[in-house]
Structure 1
Amino acid sequence: MPQDHPAPQPWREHGWPEHLQVLLDSYFQLLGEQLVPRSGSAEEDARRIFEAPFVVVSHTAADDPILNFGNRTALGLWEIDIETLMQTPSRMTAEPMHRDERAQLLERTTRDGYVDDYQGIRIATTGRRFRIEQAIVWNLRSAAGTYVGQAATFDQWTFLDA
């Protein structure tokens, strides 16, 4: 008899339940609304974010930030798996000619706490280009107020011709 294997539950791994509580708390503190309805359970909240029909991504606070979360929608859009994503400098999500504009966005976010009107060109690992629109980018702060990175969410993108 073949063994039944439980479906993967990546939202339970990589420290994501704890990280996503910081992401949700920071979003609420800065924007005054919930990104997803809160359940009272870190694992359930992480599942809701991971399975959301819109993109949610985040990166570390390093000088050259590394991606440390991407939900299922983001993984599909960037055509990347979780292990590769978590080793990718976030600058690599933009083509070289668009990285200065991306850096300006991140500086503006650092200064203002969040930006809710971002649009720009991004590139998947396969080279497929897309424009994101009306993205919200915000700073992530721990409960102690320590800066731990930035996150972004958006639900509008358009694929561009090669």
Structure 2
Amino acid sequence: MHHAHLPQGAGPAFAQLLLSSYERQTGRPLCPTSWSSDGEAAEWLYWQAPFGLLAHDTADDPVFVYANRTAQNRFDYTWQEFTVLPSRLSAAPDAQAGRNSFIASVADNGYASGYRGLRRARTGRRFWIEDVTMWNVTDAGGVHHGQAAVFHSSTDA
């Protein structure tokens, strides 16, 4: 299952943070497999996961720090383009209010799911992300690292 190396920031430590924080917040695993190593989990999440996975940092205007290949393909951004993009720019302008209230409920509850949101690819093409769960990325010590979102399907708008 070995692919090209993972980009800086997509490695085992961050993958474990995403997986462990998801399980802590939602009470269930993001993927059912128990990996033989954190490296194996990181590779699968980045290269092979059937869902889009995104994370942004804790800045006042948060910037993406992670996007797996499924998300990159859907949004038409490379890793390099994604990881300098303020996450609000991924939503279509008329979807900002819905995105903001969803994020607020994540902040209050640790996670929220069942969201469907209009998003915009780099090319301007619009699409829906569906069956979205977003959660606070916190480590075992409770330090907040940002928020992550997984979307299980998407359809053209």
Q: Which one-letter code corresponds to 1:54 in the other structure?
A: F
Over 3 Å counting, the alpha-carbon distance change for 1:138 and 1:7 in structure 2 is: closer
TM-score (norm 2): 0.91
Of residues 14, 23, 29, the one that matches 2:9 is 14
Unaligned ranges ≥5, structure 1: 1-5
Q: 1 CA distance for matches of 2:50 and 2:3?
A: 19
2:44 is the counterpart of 1:48: yes
Max Rg structure: 1
Over 3 Å counting, the alpha-carbon distance change for 1:34 and 1:7 in structure 2 is: closer
- String of CA shifts for 1:107-147, please: whole Å, max 9, x gaps: 11010111111111000001111012221111100121011
Unaligned ranges ≥5, structure 2: none
| C-alpha contact (below 8 Å) 1:132/1:154 kept by paired residues | yes
Q: 2 CA distance for matches of 1:16 and 1:73?
A: 16
Q: 2 CA distance for matches of 1:27 and 1:54?
A: 14
Q: 2 CA distance for matches of 1:71 and 1:48?
A: 10
Q: 2 CA distance for matches of 1:7 and 1:109?
A: 34
SS in 2 for 1:155: strand
Q: Superposition RMSD on alpha carbons, in Å?
A: 1.5
Q: Which residue of 1 aligns with 2:60?
A: 63
SS in 1 for 2:96: helix
The structural deviation recorded for 1:97 is: 2.1
Of residues 138, 141, 151, the one that matches 1:141 is 138
- String of CA shifts for 1:7-65, please: whole Å, max 9, x gaps: 52225x32532111111001111222211223142211111111201111111111111
| C-alpha contact (below 8 Å) 2:10/2:66 kept by paired residues | no
